[in-house]
Structure 1
Amino acid sequence: MKFGICVASRPADLDYVVEAERLGFSHAWMADSQMIWSDVYAMLALAAERTSTIQLGTGVAVAGTRLAPVTAASIATINQLAPGRTFCGIGTGNTAMRIMGHPPLQIAEFDEYLAALRPLLRGEETDFRWRDRTARIVHQMPDHGFVNFDPPPPLYVSAFGPRALDLAAQHGDGLITSAPPDPVAVRALRGAVTERRREHGHAEDRASFPIASLTTIAVLQPGEPVDSPRIKEMVGAFAIAALHYAYEQYAQFGRGPSPHLRDIWDEYVAAVESVPEERRHLRTHLGHNCWVIPEEERFLTAQLIERSCLVGTPSELRSRVDALEAAGLDQLVVLPPLATKEEVIADVARVLIDRTDGVPDPVALRS
């Protein structure tokens, strides 16, 4: 299993990326959401100068806010700075578009976008349609130090539902998602990817199409419950972001809550919808994956944490990670909150990357 970090893009956190590289994390996925974080490509350029081995890429870039040739040139510029260790994650904008009051790209639009982006990432000529006009385009100065398409940055397509998953299998070199940390769910996901890859005429072997899944991880102390104040501080932002996403699915598509949300659902929906509809998009994602706003702390239940995050003792976490890998997962991408991110990745490195026993727990040493 590979372990990556997802970074809420912020220049002050470049040392965090450097530390993740030192600890053995394989990938740094820089988040792209223009109304809440810093510019992702500026962050990647700075990180490229500060690191030497960790893979750097977008986690994920938003198709709705940048044209395909702009995305290709941007990530190829990073590939010029960090040759061979750059990747491109791309999605429809589940957060970035919604916080501007607009839905993510529709599937047909995303399909057209990916069809243009994939050859552009290889420096190849392709059709590009804009404002109802289609023309052939290609980067005209690929060999003069502006960009680098050799090797091409791998394309990871973000997908959650079956239609987006089909696009990932058709156009992508890999999948970035946020599956429940459950071997049953991962096995079903790997089976669906394999079937769709076969239908699109691609290789069926697992090595040709890695699956990465976004989560966060916390190591329990002896006798500690999964909803202790300390664990809530370490995983709460990610768990609450999963609740935000569930609300968006309800608001846009009328989808009801999953069983682990039913006890809090009516109260949570009432809290969100107490804000006038024309301003609700400014409320729904407050604190997104960085912290939990005070009025949402009451929704951070043990059931929500267990469903969205990996929490357990060192031996439990090792067993669960091994089971996820056996089921078909290739990378866990860890997204801790801002306040505890260094502590979280130190624990992950100690328990899951190095897998060293008998190493003092830094939390226990401070207590």
Structure 2
Amino acid sequence: MEFGICLHSKIDDIDLVVRAENLGFDAAWFADSQMLWSDCYSCMALAADRTTRIKLGTGVSVVDTRVAPVTAHSIATINVLAPGRTFLGVGNGFTAWRLMARKPARLVEFEAFLDTTRRLLRGEEAPFTHGGKTTDVAFQMAELGFVNVIDPVPIHVSAFGPKGQALAGAYGDGLIAAVPPQRSAVERCLANAAGGAAGAGREFDEDSFQLTTLTAMAVLEPGEDLTSDRVVEQCGPMAVMGLHYAYERFRQFGVDPTPHLRSVWDDYVALVEQSPEAERHYRIHAGHGTYLHPDEVQFATPELIEAACIVGQADQLVEKISELEAAGLDQLMVLPSFASRYRAAEEIGSLIKRSG
């Protein structure tokens, strides 16, 4: 199993990446949401200069907040600094678009973005559609070293539904999902990706295709449980983020929440809908993945934490990680709260050593 750390991209917090590399983490994923954190590519450039082994990439870049040629150009620039250890995570924009009161990219736009980006990162000419017009585009002076399209940049597609996961198989080298810590969920994600690859006429090699799950983790101390203040601080933002996502789906598509959210759903909806509609996009994502909004602490229940996070005593976690790896999960991308990020990195570093 590989271990990645997902960072709240912060331009003056590169020490965390350096520490993660020293602790044995395999990857650092830099979050890209322009209304929340620092610019992810600026952070990656600094991290590339201060590290030598850890893989660096976006967690995740967002469809059309930067158009496909700009995204390809940005990550290919990082690839000059960290050749062979640069990757691109791509998603359709859960917060990046929502916090500007806009809807994420449609599936057809997502697919076109992936196709253009993938071709450009291979040094090819690619079709680019913008403003209703399609033209072919290509990097013009890559041979002078302004960008690096020689060393491969793997593309990891972030998708939680079957159609998006099929795009990962059709265009990507990996899939990022919020996979519950269960074998059946891992197998379902891989089946969706394999179906997408088959539909695109691509060979699907489960050994080389990387499945990554976004989660939070905590190693319980003796006598500690999921109600402890430390666990709630470390894992609560990730757990409650599921409510943010579910409410947006409910709001846009009328989709009911998943079963583990139903016990708190009515209270959460009542809280969010106290905000005027014109300001609600701020309220829905308050503290998003970074800290628990004071009004949302009540929703960080053991049930929500257990469903979204991997928590247990060290021996239990090693066993659970082994089970997920055997099912086909390749990497745990861990997003702790901002306040607990260094402590969480140390905890997971100890698990990395125990897991071999």
TM-score normalized by the length of structure 1: 0.95
Using the alignment, how far apart are the partners of 2:104 and 2:175 within structure 1? 18
Which residue pairs with 1:219 in the alignment? 219
Shift of 1:200: 2.3
- CA drift of 1:198 comes to 2.7
Equivalent residue runs for 1:66-77 within 5 Å: 66-77=66-77
Deviation at 1:112, TM superposition (A): 1.2
User: Partners in 2 of 1:203 and 1:143 — Cα distance?
Assistant: 31
Q: Which runs of 4+ in 1 moved over 6 A?
A: none
* C-alpha distance 101-204 of structure 1, shift in aligned 2 (>3 A): same
Partner of 1:365: none
- 3-state SS in 1 of match to 2:342: helix
Q: What amino acid maps onto 1:6 in structure 2? A: C
- The 5 A counterparts of 1:1-367 are 1-351=1-351, 353-355=352-354
Question: What amino acid sits opposite 2:268 in the alignment?
Answer: Y
Q: CA deviation at 1:81?
A: 0.8
1:205 Cα offset (Å) = 2.2
Distance 1:132 1:265 in 2: 41
1:355 corresponds to which letter in structure 2? R
Distance, in Å, in 1 between the alignment partners of 2:312 and 2:173 is 32
Structure 1 CA distance, aligned partners of 2:290 and 2:51?
Answer: 23
Q: How many residue pairs get matched?
A: 356
8 A Cα contact 2:198 2:204, kept in partner: yes
Q: Is the 8 A contact 2:33 2:96 kept in 1?
A: yes
- Which shows bigger deviation, 1-10 or 219-228? 219-228
Conserved? CA contact 1:64–1:104, under 8 Å = no
Query: By how many angstroms is 1:286 displaced?
Result: 0.9
User: Residues 190 and 327 of structure 1 are in contact (CA less than 8 Å); yes or no, is this contact kept in structure 2?
Assistant: no
Distance across 1 between alignment mates of 2:67 and 2:188: 33
Q: Which residue type is aligned with residue 243 of structure 2?
A: L
> Is this contact kept in 1: 2:5–2:333, CA < 8 A?
yes
Q: Distance in 2 between matches of 1:128 and 1:65?
A: 15
SS of the residue corresponding to residue 64 of structure 2 reads: helix
Give the letter aligned to residue 205 of structure 2.
D
Q: Give CA-to-partner distance per residue, 1:107-141, whole Å, 9 cap, x none.
A: 01111111111101111111111212221111000
SS in 2 for 1:34: coil
Instruction: Tell me the distance in 1 between the aligned counterparts of 2:204 and 2:111.
Output: 21
On the 8 A contact 1:166/1:196 being kept in 2, the answer is yes
Structure 1 vs Structure 2 CA RMSD? 1.3
Q: What is the identity, as a one-letter code, of the residue corresponding to 1:163?
A: K
1:180 CA drift (Å): 1.2
Give the letter aligned to residue 53 of structure 2.
T
Which letter maps to 1:266?
Answer: D
1:203 offset after TM fit, Å? 2.3
Q: Using a 3 Å threshold, how does the CA distance of structure 1 residues 65 and 356 change in structure 2: closer, same or farther?
A: closer
Structure 1 Cα separation of the partners of residues 180 and 314 of structure 2 = 19
Q: Secondary structure at the match of 1:240?
A: helix
Kept in 2, the 8 Å contact 1:227–1:305? The answer is no
Displacement of 1:201 in angstroms is 2.2
Per the TM alignment, residue 199 of structure 1 is displaced from its structure 2 partner at its CA by: 3.1
- Whichever residue aligns with residue 23 of structure 1, its letter is L
SS at 1:289 equivalent? coil
Q: Secondary structure at the match of 1:288?
A: coil
1:354 counterpart letter in structure 2: K
Q: Post-superposition shift, 1:356?
A: 7.6
Name the SS of the counterpart of 2:214 in structure 1. strand
Conserved 8 A contact 2:3-2:27: yes
Question: Does the 8 Å CA contact 1:84/1:150 hold for their aligned counterparts?
Answer: no
C-alpha separation in 2, matches of 1:128 and 1:114: 11
Q: Which amino acid aligns with 1:326?
A: A
Output the CA distance in 2 between the equivalents of 1:92 and 1:114.
11
- The one-letter amino acid paired with 2:105 is L
d(CA) in 1 for partners of 2:263, 2:270 = 13
Query: In the alignment, residue 335 of structure 1 is paired with which amino acid?
Result: L
CA distance in 2: counterparts of 1:356 and 1:158, whole angstroms = 26
* Identity value in percent: 49
Distance in 1 separating the partners of 2:346 and 2:303: 25
When residues 131 and 195 of structure 1 are mapped into structure 2, their CA distance, relative to the original with a 3 A threshold, is closer
Q: What amino acid maps onto 1:315 in structure 2?
A: D
Q: Is the 8 A contact 2:170 2:198 kept in 1?
A: no
**Normalized against structure 2, the TM-score is what?**
0.97
Q: Give me the whole-angstrom Cα distance separating, in 2, the residues matched to 1:160 and 1:260.
A: 16
Structure 2 regions of 5+ residues with no counterpart? none
> Given residue 243 of structure 1, which amino acid in structure 2 is its aligned partner?
L
